[in-house]
Structure 1
Amino acid sequence: MEAQKNNEGLNTYLEKLAQELPEVMKNFHQLHEAVVSDAALSAKQKELIAVGIAVAIRCSYCIANHVAKALQMGASRKEILEAISVAIMMGGGPAVAYATEAMKVLDALTAEG
């Protein structure tokens, strides 16, 4: 799947960034861990928010990553699509175009599972 290949490439360069910018990436990782853990919002809810934001900001890497993580956290197809619908409302036409990217990832990952 194209999105998975892109994320593999992304992961390679994230590792390189960690080597070149160890403090920045260590702190980013700590921030990420603090944000995604269960609190007032569950980790699943946070991943659904991330899906919506990824679509709204038009980040293909983010879309692939957060759709996959939302599924891993137990989000249903319907929940993911609803998060995408909020992104469309907030992001307009460009978000609609990237919503199709999210659909591709969702279809591929749910067909595999």
Structure 2
Amino acid sequence: MDLAKIEKILKKEPDEAAEELLKEVEKVYGEVPYILNFMRDSPELLVSKIIYENAIVREFKRLDAKTVELISIGVAAALRCEHCLKLHIRVAQKLGVTKEEIFDAILIAGSLSNAAVLAEGTRAMDAEKLGLKDECEVCGIPEGKEKKD
């Protein structure tokens, strides 16, 4: 959505802008996601959410639509958001993404989720065993200093 279109939308009444944007979302997804329907009663929030998400997910052209949906599937699977996962699987299938490609995205998400659990858990174990104090503010890795009581 270019800036001129955003400006045009923002000049409308919030309810009217929200309904126009929801129609655009429905064209892309084939449906309106639950959370966006839920937000209809807060059109100011809904409009800004849709414009923001559209700029990230739909407007840049460095990734094609199939890749965006595979990333969305992986993230939804890792976050265990069943509703998002099902929605993005439906959209991916409409775009011609195969069952095998969808499964690969889920496998990758599972592998990374597993690695995150292991990394977090083992760092916490080491920190406690070694009596380390606070973690690094940037990366969360224990700083290696003894705890001060």
Instruction: State the TM-score, normalizing by the size of structure 1.
Output: 0.64
Aligned position for 1:60: 82
Aligned ranges 1:83-102 → 2 under 5 Å: 83-92=105-114
2:88 paired with 1:73: no
Gaps of 5+ in 1: 1-7, 93-113
Matched positions, count: 83
Aligned ranges 1:41-52 → 2 under 5 Å: 41-52=63-74
Aligned position for 1:15: 37
Higher helix fraction: Structure 1 or Structure 2? 1
**8 Å contact from structure 1 (residues 51, 67) kept in 2:** yes
The alpha carbon displacement at 1:57 in A equals 0.4
1:73-109 deviations in whole A, cap 9, x for unaligned?
A: 22111111110011110122xxxxxxxxxxxxxxxxx
Greater RCO, CA 8 A, separation 6+: 1
Decide whether aligned partners of structure 1 residues 28 and 80 sit closer, same or farther in structure 2, where only a CA change above 3 A counts.
same
Aligned position for 2:50: 29
Instruction: State the TM-score, normalizing by the size of structure 2.
Output: 0.50
* Residue identity (%): 32
